[in-house]
């Protein structure tokens, strides 16, 4: 997004006012005259830098003009807080002291603020300050923001990230707001992180808030612009029971929200709002059905990527598992494996010698941890409502590598061509069946297991040196159906990135396989 001055300049150049030239000739008098030129504005409402002002039909000044402060890089932004079919307000701005009321009739240095989906902004040089004027405000409620750090009101390109859901809980992450700050160690003191990771909280706070609403395509929210002031006027669904900064992966810190009190089998739309004025794109998801039994596990420092339901008994005296109540019988062997891998790995002169031009010992430990956590914590899933074909009706062939992403479907599209359906890598597990991870207890309820994505294995294989002997199953030859195959990568030689969906999950709540 480039919002340099001149970006939004729309009006055709009108006649050049001669006033400035006359003042220039007057030398010292210029400053004094300039203040006179702005003087009529004293009667107008002044908007200061870093101000956010809200107006409605009763509070909009008469005349509806506002003075703007002088600045070398001023951004004026507008957000609608209501919509009204009777009027479409238009906003005009000038950075010229020669124009007292910028309007649709244009003129030199008069610009209209383009409004899209309830948002508008203008950034430019305001050497002498300026004036903002509103036309046809009607009954519309709107906010005006003035800033020197870019538009205060913005529609962000970013999306919230779904961890996962249960029948009445959801775990959602904000976009990243700060890098991890972890620096690769160097030889001879090449010290890798401990099996049980410790984090230093980020220096900044994210200033993100979460907003959830039941998806209702015909409802009151969908008819309004999706601005922060509109969202603030609605009630967010559920209750945020835990909010914390979380370093889920090496992309950086996110805010993690655990939301409870949701309704089973319901479609929700989630937004994150930054600093109370900047709204992300919507992310859609559905809660699981009321019969879904698996409890949520999250916030494990040694497995920071785990934030999903697992086949465990419902925890005592709380609604979810975290580091404080996850059984030692699960964590001890996992931590031991990471420690052992780290010992073997650092027998290599990490940081001095290279086993690959692309990856380091730290990459190997990180990808191994991610893979180990993903396979050690079996994931419960359910077919997504927007993809009801996702469930497999029968257990997969035990001689296959895993469940393939694409199956040919007898459906034909309107041109008569055969269509393929992408199914999530779900395997039904009967009540009392042996758990995939033998350190897990047997549970007395049926569930569907979402297989790990084969890519979590290949990522560890690529990042680790050969001498560790880490191997992933290949398509042709393998003992057990253990992975979801063909979602991100095709699973064939050189098939990187050309899988059926090219992602582990999407913004519509589909989670194809367990990418951790």
Ligand X SMILES: *[C@@H]1O[C@H](CO)[C@@H](O)[C@H](O)[C@H]1NC(C)=O
Binding site for ligand X (CB under 6 A): 1, 3-6, 8, 73, 95-96, 109, 114, 119, 121, 123-128, 149-151, 154-155, 185, 189, 191, 196, 198, 205, 207, 242, 244, 266-267, 275-276, 286, 299, 301, 322-323, 331, 333, 335-337, 340, 385-386
* DSSP summary character for residue 303: B
The sign of the torsion formed by the CA atoms of 482, 483, 486, 487 equals positive
Nearer to ligand X, 299 or 429 (CB): 299
Cα distance between residue 321 and residue 310, in whole Å? 9
Query: At closest approach, how far in Å is the CB of 320 from ligand X?
Result: 8
The sign of the torsion formed by the CA atoms of 360, 366, 369, 371 equals negative
Nearer to ligand X, 151 or 484 (CB): 151
Question: Hey, what are 142's tokens?
Answer: 């709107």
Query: At closest approach, how far in Å is the CB of 110 from ligand X?
Result: 10
Any residues with CB less than 8 A from the CB of 245 and at least 6 apart, and which?
A: 201, 202, 205, 206, 253, 254, 255, 256
Nearer to ligand X, 150 or 313 (CB): 150
Query: At closest approach, how far in Å is the CB of 489 from ligand X?
Result: 26
Query: At closest approach, how far in Å is the CB of 28 from ligand X?
Result: 18
Nearer to ligand X, 357 or 388 (CB): 388
Query: At closest approach, how far in Å is the CB of 181 from ligand X?
Result: 13
The sign of the torsion formed by the CA atoms of 436, 439, 445, 451 equals negative
Any residues with CB less than 8 A from the CB of 173 and at least 6 apart, and which?
A: 160, 161, 162, 163, 246, 248, 254, 255, 256, 257, 307
Q: In the block, which residue shows the tokens 């050497």?
A: 127
CA atoms within 13 A on the CB side of 507: 12
Query: At closest approach, how far in Å is the CB of 326 from ligand X?
Result: 8
| CB closest to ligand X, residue no | 276
Nearer to ligand X, 120 or 486 (CB): 120
Q: Shortest CA distance to 361 belongs to which of 335, 343, 375, 373?
A: 343
Map residue 21 onto helix, strand or coil: helix
Q: Shortest CA distance to 150 belongs to which of 335, 368, 314, 4?
A: 4
Count, residues in the chain: 516
Nearer to ligand X, 258 or 500 (CB): 258
Query: At closest approach, how far in Å is the CB of 171 from ligand X?
Result: 11
Nearer to ligand X, 129 or 486 (CB): 129
* Greatest Cα pair distance in the chain: 93
Nearer to ligand X, 386 or 433 (CB): 386
Query: At closest approach, how far in Å is the CB of 492 from ligand X?
Result: 31
The sign of the torsion formed by the CA atoms of 240, 164, 263, 158 equals positive
């Amino acid at each position: 997004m480039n919002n340099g001055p001149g970006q939004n300049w729309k009006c055709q150049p009108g006649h050049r006012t001669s006033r400035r030239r006359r003042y220039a000739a007057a030398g010292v008098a210029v400053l004094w005259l300039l203040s006179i030129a702005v003087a009529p504005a004293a009667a107008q409402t002044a908007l200061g830098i870093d101000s956010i002002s809200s107006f409605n039909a009763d509070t909009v000044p008469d005349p509806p003009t506002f003075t703007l402060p002088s600045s070398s890089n001023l951004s004026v932004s507008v957000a609608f807080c209501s919509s009204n079919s009777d009027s479409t307000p238009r906003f005009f701005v000038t950075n010229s002291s020669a124009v007292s009321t910028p309007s649709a009739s244009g003129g030199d240095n008069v610009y209209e603020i383009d409004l899209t989906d309830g948002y508008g902004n203008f950034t430019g040089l305001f050497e002498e300050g300026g004036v903002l004027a509103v036309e046809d405000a009607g009954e519309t409620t709107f906010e005006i923001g003035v800033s020197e750090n870019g538009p205060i009101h913005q529609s962000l390109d970013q999306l919230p990230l779904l961890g996962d859901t249960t029948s009445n809980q959801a775990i959602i992450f904000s976009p990243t707001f700060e890098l991890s700050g972890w620096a690769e160690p160097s030889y001879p003191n090449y010290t890798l992180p401990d099996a049980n990771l410790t984090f230093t909280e980020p220096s900044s706070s994210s200033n993100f808030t979460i907003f959830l609403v039941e998806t209702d395509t015909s409802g009151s929210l969908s008819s309004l612009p999706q601005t922060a002031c509109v969202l603030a006027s609605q009630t967010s669904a559920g209750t945020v029971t835990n909010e914390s900064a979380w370093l889920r992966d090496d992309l950086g810190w996110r805010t993690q929200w655990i939301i409870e009190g949701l309704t089973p089998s319901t479609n929700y739309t989630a937004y994150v709002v930054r600093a109370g004025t900047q709204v992300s794109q919507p992310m859609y998801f559905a809660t699981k059905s009321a019969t879904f039994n698996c409890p949520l596990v999250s916030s494990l420092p040694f497995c920071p990527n785990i934030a999903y339901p697992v086949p465990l008994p419902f925890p005592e005296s709380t609604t979810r598992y975290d580091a404080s109540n996850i059984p030692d019988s699960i964590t001890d062997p996992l931590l031991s494996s990471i420690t052992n891998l780290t010992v073997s790995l650092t027998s290599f002169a990490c940081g001095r010698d290279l086993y690959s031009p692309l990856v380091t010992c730290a990459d190997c430990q990180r990808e191994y941890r991610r893979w180990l956590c993903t396979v050690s914590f079996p994931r419960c899933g359910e077919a997504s409502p927007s993809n009801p074909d996702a469930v497999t009706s029968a257990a997969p062939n035990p001689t296959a590598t895993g469940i393939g992403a694409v199956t040919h479907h007898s459906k034909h599209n309107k041109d008569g061509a055969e269509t393929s359906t992408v199914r999530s890598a779900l395997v039904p597990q009967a009540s009392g069946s042996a758990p995939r991870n033998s350190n897990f207890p047997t549970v007395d309820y049926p569930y569907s297991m979402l297989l790990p994505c084969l890519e979590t294995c290949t990522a560890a294989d690529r990042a680790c040196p050969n001498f560790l002997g880490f191997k992933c199953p290949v398509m042709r030859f393998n003992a057990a159906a253990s992975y979801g195959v063909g979602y991100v990568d095709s699973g064939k030689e050189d098939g990187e990135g050309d899988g059926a969906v090219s992602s582990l999950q999407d913004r519509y709540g589909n989670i194809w396989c367990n990418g951790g």
